[in-house]
Structure 1
Amino acid sequence: MTSGASTAGRLRALVWPAATVLLACAGAAVVLAADPTSDAGFPLPPCPVKLLTGLDCPGCGTTRMVYSLLHGDVPAALHYNAAALLFLPFFLWTWGAWVLGRWRGQPVRTWEQWRWAPHVGLALIAVWSVIRNLPFPPFSALYV
């Protein structure tokens, strides 16, 4: 394989990662336009779990968290969904490893392949689901 073919193959391998960046930018633009923290923007669909049960699911507040991050308001982002905010570095690690693996032509291992990762992840989601719905302080401050 020539150098030009190798470079062309690598660039083709980055089409999907580039598409995810474009999709993320489009999503960020929608969140910015919608302003989920107030009634000023256009409405976004409600969380079906909260709509049906009245309880915050593990993902409730993530859109408002993203909106707050896009405005540089980290304390508000923590309030809306601390667990999702703390997960962001792991998500970015996984995405970066995926891009690097596509560039190199071989997978790059991440935290997802650690033997205990699924168990810890599920336990953290379960704990977060419970504590953010407890109706007494300091946990009631986590309710969005």
Structure 2
Amino acid sequence: MSAGRLRAMALPAATVLVGCAGAAVVLAADPTSDAGFPLPPCPVKFLTGLDCPGCGVTRMIYSLLHGDVLAALHYNAAAMLFIPFFLWTWGAWVLGRWRGRRVTTWEQWRWSPHAALVLIAVWAVIRNLPFPPFESLYV
């Protein structure tokens, strides 16, 4: 393997290490209970009492690390749906660095940024609706 490729892979390797460290923090913190050390609250929820589109992601990740997919879906179903797209983007970035040229992903599709923003906005609204079945989405 050439020195240029090794240098190109340093940043992706660092993202894996940071991701593993973040997973370790989430596992140690146990955000689903008071057993671990406290993590900072969501500022939107703290200030408004409303769930933002990202509320519950830390608990979702904790649940996924424990293999509890149903609990993860409860904490943030929209983020669960975005995980394959995030992995696709990361994988394309790594492959692009390996090959030395950019790899096309869903982010370059003309409609994808708009669709993602609409989905996030809809999720932000429906998870805060105070009547069934939407009240069960509130975390």
TM-score interval, normalised by the smaller of the two chains: over 0.9
The one-letter code of the counterpart of 1:44 is L
Whole-angstrom distance in 2 between the partners of 1:11 and 1:89: 26
Task: Number of aligned residue pairs: give it.
Answer: 139
Which of 95, 100, 108 is equivalent to 1:105? 100
Please say which structure displays the higher CA radius of gyration.
1
Which of 58, 72, 81 is equivalent to 2:53? 58
Greater mean alpha carbon deviation, residues 7-16 or residues 32-41: 7-16
Alpha-carbon deviation of 1:126? 0.5
Structure 1 match to 2:88: 93
Give yes or no for the alignment of 1:16 onto 2:11.
Answer: yes
The TM-score, its normalising length taken from structure 1, stands at 0.96
Which of 122, 133, 136 is equivalent to 2:128? 133
The one-letter code of the counterpart of 2:129 is L
Whole-angstrom distance in 2 between the partners of 1:50 and 1:111: 31
Gaps of 5+ in 1: none
The TM-score, its normalising length taken from structure 2, stands at 0.99
Q: State the Cα deviation string for residues 44-70 of structure 1 (Å, max 9, x = none).
A: 000000000000000000000000000
RMSD value, Cα: 0.6
